[in-house]
Structure 1
Protein backbone atom coordinates (compact mmCIF):
# COMPACT_ATOMS: atom_id res chain seq x y z
CA UNK A 1 0.00 0.00 0.00
CA UNK A 2 2.75 2.47 0.92
CA UNK A 3 4.62 1.91 -2.36
CA UNK A 4 1.46 2.42 -4.42
CA UNK A 5 0.48 5.52 -2.44
CA UNK A 6 3.32 7.51 -3.98
CA UNK A 7 0.77 8.21 -6.73
CA UNK A 8 -1.73 9.46 -4.18
CA UNK A 9 -4.13 6.48 -4.12
CA UNK A 10 -3.63 2.83 -3.16
CA UNK A 11 -6.18 0.04 -2.92
CA UNK A 12 -6.36 -3.75 -2.76
CA UNK A 13 -8.34 -6.71 -1.41
CA UNK A 14 -6.59 -9.32 0.72
CA UNK A 15 -7.42 -12.59 2.41
CA UNK A 16 -5.42 -12.95 5.63
CA UNK A 17 -5.16 -15.96 7.94
CA UNK A 18 -3.14 -16.51 11.09
CA UNK A 19 -1.34 -19.35 9.30
CA UNK A 20 0.01 -16.82 6.77
CA UNK A 21 2.56 -15.87 9.47
CA UNK A 22 4.06 -19.18 10.65
CA UNK A 23 7.19 -17.73 12.27
CA UNK A 24 7.49 -15.37 15.23
CA UNK A 25 9.30 -12.81 13.06
CA UNK A 26 6.53 -12.84 10.46
CA UNK A 27 3.87 -12.44 13.15
CA UNK A 28 5.82 -9.55 14.67
CA UNK A 29 6.10 -7.81 11.29
CA UNK A 30 2.39 -8.33 10.57
CA UNK A 31 1.32 -6.87 13.92
CA UNK A 32 3.85 -4.04 14.11
CA UNK A 33 2.52 -0.60 15.00
CA UNK A 34 2.61 1.90 12.15
CA UNK A 35 0.96 4.87 10.50
CA UNK A 36 -0.43 4.98 6.97
CA UNK A 37 0.47 7.86 4.70
CA UNK A 38 -3.06 8.59 3.53
CA UNK A 39 -6.63 8.68 4.77
CA UNK A 40 -7.37 4.98 4.93
CA UNK A 41 -10.51 2.85 5.01
CA UNK A 42 -10.34 -0.87 5.76
CA UNK A 43 -13.60 -2.61 4.81
CA UNK A 44 -13.83 -5.87 6.75
CA UNK A 45 -15.78 -8.20 4.47
CA UNK A 46 -15.30 -11.43 6.40
CA UNK A 47 -14.08 -12.55 9.81
CA UNK A 48 -13.07 -10.77 12.99
CA UNK A 49 -10.09 -8.67 13.99
CA UNK A 50 -8.77 -7.07 17.16
CA UNK A 51 -7.05 -3.79 16.35
CA UNK A 52 -5.35 -1.08 18.40
CA UNK A 53 -5.93 2.51 17.26
CA UNK A 54 -4.17 5.22 19.23
CA UNK A 55 -3.79 2.87 22.20
CA UNK A 56 -7.48 1.91 22.28
CA UNK A 57 -8.40 -1.70 21.54
CA UNK A 58 -11.38 -2.49 19.30
CA UNK A 59 -12.99 -5.86 18.52
CA UNK A 60 -14.36 -5.63 14.98
CA UNK A 61 -16.65 -8.12 13.26
CA UNK A 62 -17.63 -8.10 9.59
CA UNK A 63 -19.20 -6.33 7.87
CA UNK A 64 -17.56 -3.18 9.15
CA UNK A 65 -15.30 -0.32 8.13
CA UNK A 66 -12.32 1.09 10.01
CA UNK A 67 -11.27 4.66 9.20
CA UNK A 68 -7.74 5.86 9.98
CA UNK A 69 -6.28 9.32 9.65
CA UNK A 70 -2.60 9.65 8.61
CA UNK A 71 -1.41 10.58 12.10
CA UNK A 72 -3.07 7.64 13.90
CA UNK A 73 -0.86 4.83 15.16
CA UNK A 74 -2.45 1.42 14.82
CA UNK A 75 -1.75 -2.27 14.66
CA UNK A 76 -3.54 -5.55 14.11
CA UNK A 77 -3.42 -7.66 17.27
CA UNK A 78 -5.50 -10.76 16.47
CA UNK A 79 -7.29 -12.05 13.40
CA UNK A 80 -9.69 -14.74 12.43
CA UNK A 81 -9.61 -15.67 8.74
CA UNK A 82 -10.43 -12.23 7.32
CA UNK A 83 -11.06 -10.68 3.94
CA UNK A 84 -10.40 -6.95 3.91
CA UNK A 85 -10.65 -4.37 1.14
CA UNK A 86 -8.53 -1.29 1.73
CA UNK A 87 -8.24 2.12 0.14
CA UNK A 88 -5.83 4.87 1.09
CA UNK A 89 -5.88 8.33 -0.45
CA UNK A 90 -3.71 11.34 0.32
CA UNK A 91 -5.09 14.80 1.01
CA UNK A 92 -4.14 16.15 -2.42
CA UNK A 93 -6.27 13.56 -4.18
CA UNK A 94 -9.12 13.64 -1.66
CA UNK A 95 -12.26 15.67 -2.40
CA UNK A 96 -12.08 18.88 -0.35
CA UNK A 97 -15.56 18.45 1.12
CA UNK A 98 -14.85 14.84 2.13
CA UNK A 99 -11.54 15.90 3.65
CA UNK A 100 -13.30 18.42 5.86
CA UNK A 101 -15.93 15.91 7.00
CA UNK A 102 -13.29 13.29 7.80
CA UNK A 103 -11.36 15.78 9.91
CA UNK A 104 -14.56 16.57 11.82
CA UNK A 105 -15.27 12.85 12.34
CA UNK A 106 -11.91 12.12 13.91
CA UNK A 107 -11.50 10.24 16.13
CA UNK A 108 -13.91 7.79 14.52
CA UNK A 109 -14.45 4.34 16.02
CA UNK A 110 -14.86 1.27 13.76
CA UNK A 111 -18.30 1.30 12.19
CA UNK A 112 -20.58 -1.72 11.71
CA UNK A 113 -22.32 -1.82 8.33
CA UNK A 114 -25.83 -2.97 7.51
CA UNK A 115 -26.09 -5.69 4.88
CA UNK A 116 -27.51 -3.21 2.36
CA UNK A 117 -24.76 -0.67 2.96
CA UNK A 118 -22.07 -3.34 2.83
CA UNK A 119 -23.45 -4.76 -0.43
CA UNK A 120 -23.37 -1.37 -2.14
CA UNK A 121 -19.91 -0.46 -0.84
CA UNK A 122 -18.48 -3.87 -1.71
CA UNK A 123 -19.85 -3.75 -5.26
CA UNK A 124 -18.55 -0.25 -5.84
CA UNK A 125 -15.15 -1.09 -4.35
CA UNK A 126 -14.90 -3.93 -6.88
CA UNK A 127 -15.55 -1.50 -9.75
CA UNK A 128 -12.96 0.96 -8.42
CA UNK A 129 -10.38 -1.80 -8.01
CA UNK A 130 -10.87 -2.91 -11.62
CA UNK A 131 -10.30 0.65 -12.81
CA UNK A 132 -7.32 1.00 -10.48
CA UNK A 133 -5.65 -2.04 -12.03
CA UNK A 134 -6.15 -0.85 -15.64
CA UNK A 135 -3.05 1.35 -15.57
CA UNK A 136 -2.75 1.46 -19.38
CA UNK A 137 -6.19 3.05 -19.83
CA UNK A 138 -6.44 6.55 -21.23
CA UNK A 139 -7.68 9.01 -18.61
CA UNK A 140 -6.45 6.48 -16.01
CA UNK A 141 -5.55 8.96 -13.27
CA UNK A 142 -8.78 10.94 -13.68
CA UNK A 143 -10.92 7.80 -13.67
CA UNK A 144 -9.23 6.41 -10.57
CA UNK A 145 -9.38 9.68 -8.70
CA UNK A 146 -13.04 10.35 -9.46
CA UNK A 147 -14.20 6.78 -8.85
CA UNK A 148 -12.25 6.44 -5.60
CA UNK A 149 -13.55 9.75 -4.31
CA UNK A 150 -17.08 8.52 -5.00
CA UNK A 151 -16.26 5.41 -2.96
CA UNK A 152 -14.96 7.60 -0.13
CA UNK A 153 -18.20 9.57 -0.41
CA UNK A 154 -20.21 6.38 0.16
CA UNK A 155 -18.10 5.53 3.20
CA UNK A 156 -18.32 9.04 4.60
CA UNK A 157 -22.11 8.97 4.21
CA UNK A 158 -22.26 5.82 6.37
CA UNK A 159 -20.41 7.54 9.18
CA UNK A 160 -22.69 10.55 8.88
CA UNK A 161 -25.83 8.40 8.74
CA UNK A 162 -24.96 6.75 12.02
CA UNK A 163 -24.11 9.96 13.85
CA UNK A 164 -26.99 10.94 16.09
CA UNK A 165 -28.37 14.32 17.02
CA UNK A 166 -26.63 16.36 14.35
CA UNK A 167 -29.87 18.22 13.55
CA UNK A 168 -30.08 19.54 17.12
CA UNK A 169 -26.46 20.36 17.86
CA UNK A 170 -26.30 22.43 21.02
CA UNK A 171 -24.24 25.54 21.55
CA UNK A 172 -22.03 23.47 23.84
CA UNK A 173 -21.36 20.95 21.05
CA UNK A 174 -20.57 23.70 18.55
CA UNK A 175 -18.04 25.30 20.88
CA UNK A 176 -16.50 21.89 21.59
CA UNK A 177 -16.19 21.21 17.86
CA UNK A 178 -14.43 24.50 17.17
CA UNK A 179 -12.21 23.99 20.22
CA UNK A 180 -11.10 20.57 18.97
CA UNK A 181 -10.27 22.02 15.54
CA UNK A 182 -8.22 24.79 17.14
CA UNK A 183 -6.55 22.29 19.46
CA UNK A 184 -5.57 20.05 16.56
CA UNK A 185 -3.83 22.96 14.84
CA UNK A 186 -2.20 24.52 17.88
CA UNK A 187 -1.50 21.97 20.63
CA UNK A 188 2.26 22.27 20.12
CA UNK A 189 2.23 26.02 20.68
CA UNK A 190 -0.84 26.88 22.77
CA UNK A 191 -1.06 25.16 26.15
CA UNK A 192 -3.48 27.35 28.16
CA UNK A 193 -7.31 27.31 28.04
CA UNK A 194 -7.37 31.11 27.90
CA UNK A 195 -5.46 31.08 24.61
CA UNK A 196 -8.11 28.87 23.02
CA UNK A 197 -10.93 30.93 24.53
CA UNK A 198 -9.39 34.00 22.87
CA UNK A 199 -9.32 32.22 19.49
CA UNK A 200 -13.03 31.44 19.89
CA UNK A 201 -13.87 34.93 21.18
CA UNK A 202 -15.40 33.60 24.38
CA UNK A 203 -14.40 33.69 28.04
CA UNK A 204 -12.36 30.91 29.63
CA UNK A 205 -15.13 30.02 32.14
CA UNK A 206 -17.65 29.73 29.29
CA UNK A 207 -15.25 27.57 27.28
CA UNK A 208 -14.91 25.21 30.24
CA UNK A 209 -18.68 25.17 30.76
CA UNK A 210 -19.27 24.19 27.13
CA UNK A 211 -16.57 21.52 27.12
CA UNK A 212 -17.71 19.94 30.37
CA UNK A 213 -21.28 19.77 29.07
CA UNK A 214 -20.25 18.38 25.67
CA UNK A 215 -17.38 16.09 26.67
CA UNK A 216 -17.31 15.84 30.45
CA UNK A 217 -13.78 17.29 30.55
CA UNK A 218 -12.23 20.69 31.10
CA UNK A 219 -10.18 22.55 28.49
CA UNK A 220 -6.99 21.89 30.46
CA UNK A 221 -7.66 18.14 30.49
CA UNK A 222 -8.40 18.00 26.75
CA UNK A 223 -5.25 19.99 25.93
CA UNK A 224 -3.22 17.74 28.18
CA UNK A 225 -4.74 14.55 26.72
CA UNK A 226 -4.00 15.65 23.15
CA UNK A 227 -0.36 16.37 23.96
CA UNK A 228 0.09 13.05 25.74
CA UNK A 229 -1.55 11.19 22.84
CA UNK A 230 0.92 12.72 20.39
CA UNK A 231 3.80 11.94 22.75
CA UNK A 232 2.69 8.29 22.83
CA UNK A 233 2.43 8.24 19.05
CA UNK A 234 5.96 9.59 18.65
CA UNK A 235 7.37 7.22 21.26
CA UNK A 236 5.60 4.32 19.56
CA UNK A 237 6.36 5.16 15.97
CA UNK A 238 9.64 7.09 15.81
CA UNK A 239 13.20 6.76 17.02
CA UNK A 240 13.30 10.30 18.38
CA UNK A 241 14.67 10.73 21.87
CA UNK A 242 12.35 11.82 24.67
CA UNK A 243 14.13 15.18 24.70
CA UNK A 244 13.48 15.62 20.94
CA UNK A 245 9.82 14.67 21.38
CA UNK A 246 9.44 17.16 24.22
CA UNK A 247 10.89 19.90 22.00
CA UNK A 248 8.63 18.93 19.08
CA UNK A 249 5.62 19.25 21.38
CA UNK A 250 6.63 22.73 22.53
CA UNK A 251 8.41 21.93 25.79
CA UNK A 252 11.87 23.47 26.11
CA UNK A 253 11.87 22.27 29.73
CA UNK A 254 12.54 18.58 29.16
CA UNK A 255 12.32 17.54 32.85
CA UNK A 256 8.90 19.21 33.12
CA UNK A 257 7.64 17.25 30.11
CA UNK A 258 8.99 14.00 31.59
CA UNK A 259 7.15 14.64 34.85
CA UNK A 260 3.96 15.53 32.93
CA UNK A 261 4.12 12.27 30.96
CA UNK A 262 4.81 10.15 34.03
CA UNK A 263 1.98 11.75 35.99
CA UNK A 264 -0.47 11.16 33.14
CA UNK A 265 0.47 7.60 32.25
CA UNK A 266 1.88 6.20 35.48
CA UNK A 267 5.13 5.31 33.76
CA UNK A 268 8.15 7.08 32.30
CA UNK A 269 8.40 7.85 28.61
CA UNK A 270 11.32 5.43 28.21
CA UNK A 271 9.43 2.66 30.02
CA UNK A 272 6.35 3.29 27.86
CA UNK A 273 8.45 2.96 24.70
CA UNK A 274 10.16 -0.21 25.88
CA UNK A 275 6.90 -1.84 27.02
CA UNK A 276 5.23 -1.25 23.68
CA UNK A 277 8.24 -2.26 21.61
CA UNK A 278 8.25 -5.55 23.52
Structure 2
Protein backbone atom coordinates (compact mmCIF):
# COMPACT_ATOMS: atom_id res chain seq x y z
CA UNK A 1 0.00 0.00 0.00
CA UNK A 2 1.43 3.36 -0.99
CA UNK A 3 1.28 5.87 1.87
CA UNK A 4 -0.69 8.98 0.93
CA UNK A 5 0.32 12.40 2.29
CA UNK A 6 -1.42 15.40 0.73
CA UNK A 7 -4.21 14.88 -1.81
CA UNK A 8 -4.74 17.37 -4.62
CA UNK A 9 -8.23 17.95 -6.01
CA UNK A 10 -6.87 17.07 -9.44
CA UNK A 11 -6.33 13.48 -8.27
CA UNK A 12 -10.09 12.92 -8.08
CA UNK A 13 -12.15 12.08 -11.18
CA UNK A 14 -14.00 15.02 -12.65
CA UNK A 15 -17.70 14.33 -13.00
CA UNK A 16 -18.57 17.60 -14.71
CA UNK A 17 -17.25 20.73 -16.39
CA UNK A 18 -16.59 22.53 -13.11
CA UNK A 19 -12.91 23.05 -12.44
CA UNK A 20 -11.85 22.98 -8.79
CA UNK A 21 -14.99 21.23 -7.55
CA UNK A 22 -16.02 17.65 -6.71
CA UNK A 23 -19.30 16.20 -5.43
CA UNK A 24 -20.41 12.61 -4.91
CA UNK A 25 -22.45 10.28 -2.74
CA UNK A 26 -20.31 9.12 0.15
CA UNK A 27 -20.78 5.46 -0.70
CA UNK A 28 -19.60 5.93 -4.29
CA UNK A 29 -16.74 8.17 -3.15
CA UNK A 30 -15.51 5.45 -0.79
CA UNK A 31 -15.55 2.85 -3.56
CA UNK A 32 -14.15 4.85 -6.47
CA UNK A 33 -11.90 7.51 -4.95
CA UNK A 34 -11.06 6.49 -1.39
CA UNK A 35 -10.71 2.72 -1.50
CA UNK A 36 -6.89 2.67 -1.37
CA UNK A 37 -6.51 5.31 1.36
CA UNK A 38 -6.19 3.62 4.75
CA UNK A 39 -3.96 5.99 6.73
CA UNK A 40 -4.40 9.60 7.89
CA UNK A 41 -3.96 12.07 5.03
CA UNK A 42 -4.66 15.71 4.25
CA UNK A 43 -6.01 17.73 1.33
CA UNK A 44 -5.30 21.06 -0.35
CA UNK A 45 -9.03 21.92 -0.56
CA UNK A 46 -12.10 22.62 1.60
CA UNK A 47 -14.16 19.54 2.41
CA UNK A 48 -17.77 18.99 3.58
CA UNK A 49 -19.06 15.51 4.49
CA UNK A 50 -22.59 14.61 5.59
CA UNK A 51 -23.36 11.14 6.99
CA UNK A 52 -26.98 10.07 6.54
CA UNK A 53 -26.64 6.37 7.49
CA UNK A 54 -24.16 4.15 9.26
CA UNK A 55 -21.69 4.61 12.08
CA UNK A 56 -17.99 4.68 12.87
CA UNK A 57 -15.28 7.11 13.87
CA UNK A 58 -13.80 10.08 12.03
CA UNK A 59 -10.40 11.25 13.22
CA UNK A 60 -9.55 14.89 12.40
CA UNK A 61 -6.06 16.15 13.28
CA UNK A 62 -5.78 13.07 15.51
CA UNK A 63 -8.90 13.90 17.56
CA UNK A 64 -11.60 11.20 17.34
CA UNK A 65 -15.27 11.99 16.66
CA UNK A 66 -18.18 9.56 16.60
CA UNK A 67 -20.00 9.19 13.28
CA UNK A 68 -23.80 8.83 13.24
CA UNK A 69 -26.66 9.86 10.93
CA UNK A 70 -26.61 13.65 10.88
CA UNK A 71 -22.86 14.02 11.43
CA UNK A 72 -21.66 16.96 9.32
CA UNK A 73 -17.92 17.64 9.06
CA UNK A 74 -16.15 20.69 7.64
CA UNK A 75 -12.39 20.44 7.06
CA UNK A 76 -9.86 23.12 6.17
CA UNK A 77 -7.05 22.58 3.68
CA UNK A 78 -4.13 20.95 5.44
CA UNK A 79 -6.14 19.22 8.15
CA UNK A 80 -5.36 15.53 8.54
CA UNK A 81 -8.19 13.02 8.67
CA UNK A 82 -8.87 9.32 8.74
CA UNK A 83 -11.98 7.22 9.33
CA UNK A 84 -13.19 3.73 10.13
CA UNK A 85 -16.78 3.34 8.97
CA UNK A 86 -19.47 0.66 8.99
CA UNK A 87 -20.31 -1.14 5.76
CA UNK A 88 -23.76 0.48 5.55
CA UNK A 89 -22.50 4.08 5.65
CA UNK A 90 -24.23 6.54 3.30
CA UNK A 91 -24.16 10.27 2.77
CA UNK A 92 -22.75 13.01 0.57
CA UNK A 93 -19.41 14.72 0.11
CA UNK A 94 -18.27 17.79 -1.77
CA UNK A 95 -15.01 19.69 -1.86
CA UNK A 96 -13.53 22.63 -3.70
CA UNK A 97 -10.50 24.87 -3.91
CA UNK A 98 -10.40 28.27 -2.24
CA UNK A 99 -10.38 29.99 -5.63
CA UNK A 100 -13.56 28.19 -6.69
CA UNK A 101 -15.42 29.91 -3.85
CA UNK A 102 -13.55 33.18 -3.36
CA UNK A 103 -13.53 34.18 -7.03
CA UNK A 104 -17.34 34.12 -6.96
CA UNK A 105 -17.80 35.80 -3.58
CA UNK A 106 -15.06 38.42 -3.89
CA UNK A 107 -16.38 40.52 -1.00
CA UNK A 108 -16.65 37.65 1.49
CA UNK A 109 -14.01 34.94 1.68
CA UNK A 110 -14.71 31.40 2.80
CA UNK A 111 -12.73 31.89 6.01
CA UNK A 112 -15.55 33.98 7.49
CA UNK A 113 -17.52 30.82 8.32
CA UNK A 114 -16.82 29.75 11.93
CA UNK A 115 -15.90 26.15 11.14
CA UNK A 116 -13.29 27.52 8.70
CA UNK A 117 -12.03 30.28 11.04
CA UNK A 118 -9.35 28.15 12.57
CA UNK A 119 -8.13 24.59 12.92
CA UNK A 120 -8.80 25.01 16.65
CA UNK A 121 -12.56 25.16 16.03
CA UNK A 122 -14.56 21.94 16.14
CA UNK A 123 -15.03 20.38 12.68
CA UNK A 124 -18.31 18.61 13.59
CA UNK A 125 -21.98 19.54 13.66
CA UNK A 126 -24.49 16.90 14.78
CA UNK A 127 -27.76 17.54 12.94
CA UNK A 128 -31.23 16.43 14.03
CA UNK A 129 -34.85 16.76 12.91
CA UNK A 130 -35.65 19.42 10.32
CA UNK A 131 -32.07 20.72 10.36
CA UNK A 132 -30.85 17.29 9.26
CA UNK A 133 -33.57 17.06 6.61
CA UNK A 134 -32.94 20.55 5.21
CA UNK A 135 -29.17 20.24 4.94
CA UNK A 136 -29.48 16.75 3.44
CA UNK A 137 -31.69 18.28 0.76
CA UNK A 138 -29.01 20.90 0.01
CA UNK A 139 -26.33 18.22 -0.34
CA UNK A 140 -28.60 16.22 -2.66
CA UNK A 141 -29.14 19.31 -4.81
CA UNK A 142 -25.39 19.96 -4.98
CA UNK A 143 -24.81 16.37 -6.10
CA UNK A 144 -27.58 16.41 -8.73
CA UNK A 145 -26.69 19.83 -10.10
CA UNK A 146 -23.08 18.77 -10.52
CA UNK A 147 -24.17 15.83 -12.68
CA UNK A 148 -26.20 18.04 -15.03
CA UNK A 149 -24.84 20.47 -17.60
CA UNK A 150 -27.45 23.20 -17.47
CA UNK A 151 -27.07 26.91 -18.00
CA UNK A 152 -25.64 28.81 -14.99
CA UNK A 153 -24.49 25.55 -13.43
CA UNK A 154 -21.48 27.06 -11.68
CA UNK A 155 -23.58 29.83 -10.17
CA UNK A 156 -26.19 27.39 -8.85
CA UNK A 157 -23.63 25.02 -7.35
CA UNK A 158 -21.93 27.93 -5.62
CA UNK A 159 -25.27 29.20 -4.33
CA UNK A 160 -26.11 25.78 -2.94
CA UNK A 161 -22.81 25.23 -1.16
CA UNK A 162 -23.06 28.76 0.19
CA UNK A 163 -26.44 27.83 1.66
CA UNK A 164 -24.84 24.77 3.27
CA UNK A 165 -22.24 27.06 4.85
CA UNK A 166 -24.83 29.65 5.92
CA UNK A 167 -27.17 27.11 7.51
CA UNK A 168 -24.19 25.34 9.05
CA UNK A 169 -22.97 28.63 10.53
CA UNK A 170 -26.34 29.37 12.13
CA UNK A 171 -26.40 25.95 13.76
CA UNK A 172 -22.73 26.10 14.70
CA UNK A 173 -23.12 29.41 16.53
CA UNK A 174 -25.98 28.06 18.62
CA UNK A 175 -23.48 25.86 20.46
CA UNK A 176 -20.19 27.75 20.04
CA UNK A 177 -18.87 31.18 20.99
CA UNK A 178 -16.92 31.84 17.79
CA UNK A 179 -19.41 34.44 16.59
CA UNK A 180 -19.12 36.44 19.80
CA UNK A 181 -15.33 36.24 19.64
CA UNK A 182 -15.43 37.47 16.06
CA UNK A 183 -17.62 40.42 17.00
CA UNK A 184 -15.33 41.68 19.78
CA UNK A 185 -12.26 41.68 17.55
CA UNK A 186 -10.35 38.78 19.14
CA UNK A 187 -10.89 36.59 16.10
CA UNK A 188 -8.84 38.88 13.84
CA UNK A 189 -5.88 38.86 16.20
CA UNK A 190 -6.14 35.11 16.66
CA UNK A 191 -6.12 34.59 12.89
CA UNK A 192 -3.04 36.82 12.66
CA UNK A 193 -1.40 34.76 15.39
CA UNK A 194 -2.14 31.51 13.56
CA UNK A 195 -0.68 32.93 10.36
CA UNK A 196 2.47 34.00 12.19
CA UNK A 197 2.77 30.61 13.86
CA UNK A 198 2.32 28.88 10.50
CA UNK A 199 5.24 30.84 9.08
CA UNK A 200 7.53 30.63 12.11
CA UNK A 201 6.70 27.62 14.32
CA UNK A 202 9.81 25.69 13.29
CA UNK A 203 12.12 28.44 14.51
CA UNK A 204 10.09 30.42 17.08
CA UNK A 205 8.34 28.85 20.07
CA UNK A 206 8.05 31.85 22.43
CA UNK A 207 4.61 33.32 23.13
CA UNK A 208 6.27 36.63 24.02
CA UNK A 209 7.89 36.77 20.58
CA UNK A 210 4.54 36.32 18.85
CA UNK A 211 2.99 38.96 21.10
CA UNK A 212 5.73 41.37 20.01
CA UNK A 213 5.03 40.55 16.34
CA UNK A 214 1.38 41.44 16.96
CA UNK A 215 2.30 44.61 18.89
CA UNK A 216 0.41 43.50 21.99
CA UNK A 217 1.44 42.34 25.44
CA UNK A 218 1.90 38.64 26.23
CA UNK A 219 -0.89 38.97 28.80
CA UNK A 220 -3.32 40.29 26.19
CA UNK A 221 -2.27 37.57 23.75
CA UNK A 222 -3.15 34.94 26.34
CA UNK A 223 -6.48 36.65 26.92
CA UNK A 224 -7.22 36.35 23.18
CA UNK A 225 -6.19 32.69 22.86
CA UNK A 226 -8.15 31.74 25.97
CA UNK A 227 -11.28 33.45 24.60
CA UNK A 228 -11.01 31.95 21.10
CA UNK A 229 -9.49 28.51 21.71
CA UNK A 230 -9.65 28.00 25.48
CA UNK A 231 -5.84 27.63 25.56
CA UNK A 232 -2.77 29.66 26.45
CA UNK A 233 -0.69 31.14 23.63
CA UNK A 234 2.06 28.63 24.43
CA UNK A 235 -0.44 25.78 24.07
CA UNK A 236 -1.54 27.10 20.66
CA UNK A 237 2.08 27.23 19.49
CA UNK A 238 2.90 23.78 20.84
CA UNK A 239 -0.29 22.31 19.36
CA UNK A 240 0.86 23.39 15.90
CA UNK A 241 4.32 21.92 16.46
CA UNK A 242 2.97 18.62 17.78
CA UNK A 243 0.42 18.37 14.97
CA UNK A 244 3.26 18.65 12.46
CA UNK A 245 5.27 16.04 14.34
CA UNK A 246 2.37 13.57 14.20
CA UNK A 247 1.80 14.28 10.52
CA UNK A 248 5.45 13.67 9.74
CA UNK A 249 5.46 10.45 11.73
CA UNK A 250 2.39 9.02 10.01
CA UNK A 251 2.58 10.49 6.53
CA UNK A 252 6.29 10.63 5.83
CA UNK A 253 7.62 7.93 8.17
CA UNK A 254 10.62 10.06 9.18
CA UNK A 255 12.79 9.16 12.14
CA UNK A 256 11.51 10.98 15.23
CA UNK A 257 14.98 12.38 15.93
CA UNK A 258 14.97 13.92 12.45
CA UNK A 259 11.48 15.30 13.01
CA UNK A 260 12.51 16.90 16.31
CA UNK A 261 15.49 18.58 14.63
CA UNK A 262 13.36 19.73 11.68
CA UNK A 263 10.93 21.35 14.13
CA UNK A 264 13.68 23.25 15.90
CA UNK A 265 14.43 20.92 18.84
CA UNK A 266 18.06 19.83 19.08
CA UNK A 267 17.35 18.00 22.34
CA UNK A 268 15.49 14.90 21.20
CA UNK A 269 14.82 13.74 24.78
CA UNK A 270 13.14 17.05 25.66
CA UNK A 271 10.95 16.93 22.59
CA UNK A 272 10.03 13.31 23.28
CA UNK A 273 8.93 14.30 26.79
CA UNK A 274 6.93 17.22 25.38
CA UNK A 275 5.29 14.91 22.85
CA UNK A 276 4.20 12.48 25.57
CA UNK A 277 2.98 15.28 27.85
CA UNK A 278 0.85 16.86 25.12
CA UNK A 279 -0.43 13.72 23.37
CA UNK A 280 -0.52 11.23 26.25
CA UNK A 281 1.72 8.67 24.54
CA UNK A 282 5.26 8.21 23.33
CA UNK A 283 6.14 8.76 19.66
CA UNK A 284 6.60 5.03 19.14
CA UNK A 285 3.26 4.18 20.79
CA UNK A 286 1.56 6.80 18.64
CA UNK A 287 3.11 5.46 15.45
CA UNK A 288 2.19 1.87 16.33
CA UNK A 289 -1.48 2.82 16.11
CA UNK A 290 -1.00 3.72 12.43
CA UNK A 291 1.49 1.05 11.41
CA UNK A 292 -1.03 -1.20 9.71
CA UNK A 293 -1.08 -1.25 5.92
TM-score norm. by structure 1 comes to: 0.77
Q: Which moved more, 1:87-96 or 1:265-274?
A: 265-274
1:100 aligns with 2:107: no
> Which of the residues 274, 279, 284 maps onto 1:265?
279
> Which of the residues 219, 243, 266 maps onto 1:253?
266
Map 1:1-278 onto structure 2 (within 5 A).
Answer: 2-4=11-13, 7-15=19-27, 29=36, 31-79=38-86, 81-95=88-102, 97-102=108-113, 103-106=116-119, 107-134=121-148, 137=149, 143-144=153-154, 146-161=155-170, 162-163=172-173, 164-165=176-177, 166-167=179-180, 169-170=183-184, 175-176=189-190, 178-212=192-226, 215-249=229-263, 251=264, 253=266, 255=268, 257-278=271-292
d(CA) in 2 for partners of 1:220, 1:127: 44
Q: CA deviation at 1:219?
A: 1.5
Q: CA deviation at 1:216?
A: 4.2
Q: CA deviation at 1:172?
A: 5.8
Q: CA deviation at 1:268?
A: 4.0
Q: Structure 1: 5+ residue runs without aligned partners?
A: 21-27
d(CA) in 1 for partners of 2:54, 2:150: 37
Change (3 A) 1:46 1:264: closer
Q: Structure 2: 5+ residue runs without aligned partners?
A: 1-8
Change (3 A) 1:194 1:105: closer
CA RMSD in angstroms comes to 3.5
Contact 1:98–1:152, Cα closer than 8 Å, also in 2: no
Q: CA deviation at 1:100?
A: 1.7
d(CA) in 2 for partners of 1:266, 1:117: 37
Q: CA deviation at 1:195?
A: 1.8
TM-score norm. by structure 2 comes to: 0.73
Change (3 A) 1:203 1:14: closer
The number of equivalent residue pairs is 264
Contact 1:44–1:64, Cα closer than 8 Å, also in 2: yes
Indicate the SS of the match to 2:290.
helix
Indicate the SS of the match to 2:111.
helix
Contact 1:98–1:153, Cα closer than 8 Å, also in 2: no
Indicate the SS of the match to 1:15.
helix
Contact 2:138–2:163, Cα closer than 8 Å, also in 1: no
Q: CA deviation at 1:258?
A: 4.2
Indicate the SS of the match to 1:188.
coil
Change (3 A) 1:174 1:69: closer
Indicate the SS of the match to 2:91.
strand
d(CA) in 2 for partners of 1:266, 1:167: 32
Contact 1:98–1:156, Cα closer than 8 Å, also in 2: no
